[in-house]
A and B are shown apart, each in its own frame.
Chain A
Amino acid sequence: MGISTTYNEQELILALKKRDEQAYKYLYDNYSGALYSIIKQIVDDAELASDVLQEVFINIWRKIESYDARKGRLFTWMLNIARNASIDTLRSKSYQNSQKNQELPDNVYSDTTRHTTQLNVDNIGLKKVLEKLKTEHRVLVELAYFKGFTHEEIAEIEGIPLGTVKTRIRNALLQLREFLQ
Chain B
Amino acid sequence: MNVKDYIVSGIVESYVLGLASGEERAEFERLCAEYPELAAARDEFEESVEKFALANAVKPPESVKVRFLEAIQNPPSLNQTKTITMEKATTPVRPMRQGGFLRFMAAASVVLLIGCAYFLYRFSEQNAELRSSNQELAARAQKSDSILNKIADEQKVVSDPNVTVVNLVGTQTAPKSSANIYWDSASTNVYLVVKNMPQLPSDKQYQLWALIDGKPKDLGVFDVNKEKFIVKMKNTQKAEAFAITIEQKGGSVSPTLEKMQSLGKLKQSQ
Mark interface residues in B58-88 (1 if CB within 8 Å of A CB, else 0): 1111011101110111000000000000000
Main secondary structure of the interface of A (DSSP, over half): helix
Chain A, 38-85, CB within 8 A of any chain B CB: 38, 40, 49-50, 53-54, 57-58, 61, 70-73, 75-76, 79-80, 83-84
B129 within 8 A of A: no
- Chain A contact patch, size range: 35 or more
User: Is the beta-carbon distance between A72 and B14 smaller than 8 angstroms?
Assistant: no
Which residue from A71, A126, A169, A171 sits with its C-beta under 8 Å from B19? A169
User: Is the beta-carbon distance between B50 and A36 smaller than 8 angstroms?
Assistant: no
Mark interface residues in A104-127 (1 if CB within 8 Å of B CB, else 0): 000000000000000000001110
User: What CA separation (Å) do A173 and B16 show in the bound complex?
Assistant: 11
Residues of A within 8 A of B8 (CB): 174
User: Is the beta-carbon distance between A37 and B13 smaller than 8 angstroms?
Assistant: no
Q: Given known contacts A70-B33, A170-B11, is B18 in contact with A32 (CB within 8 Å)? A: no
User: Is the beta-carbon distance between A173 and B17 smaller than 8 angstroms?
Assistant: yes
- Chain B contact patch, size range: 35 or more
B21 within 8 A of A: yes
User: Is the beta-carbon distance between B60 and A50 smaller than 8 angstroms?
Assistant: yes
B49 vs chain A, min Cβ distance (A): 7
Which residue from A50, A76, A169, A181 sits with its C-beta under 8 Å from B10? A169
User: Is the beta-carbon distance between B72 and A180 smaller than 8 angstroms?
Assistant: no
User: What CA separation (Å) do A76 and B45 show in the bound complex?
Assistant: 10
Chain A, 126-181, CB within 8 A of any chain B CB: 126, 129, 144-145, 150-151, 169-171, 173-174, 176-177, 180-181
Residues of B within 8 A of A71 (CB): 29, 32
User: What CA separation (Å) do A31 and B53 show in the bound complex?
Assistant: 9
User: What CA separation (Å) do A120 and B53 show in the bound complex?
Assistant: 18
Q: Given known contacts A58-B72, A173-B13, is B49 in contact with A76 (CB within 8 Å)? A: yes
User: Is the beta-carbon distance between A177 and B48 smaller than 8 angstroms?
Assistant: yes
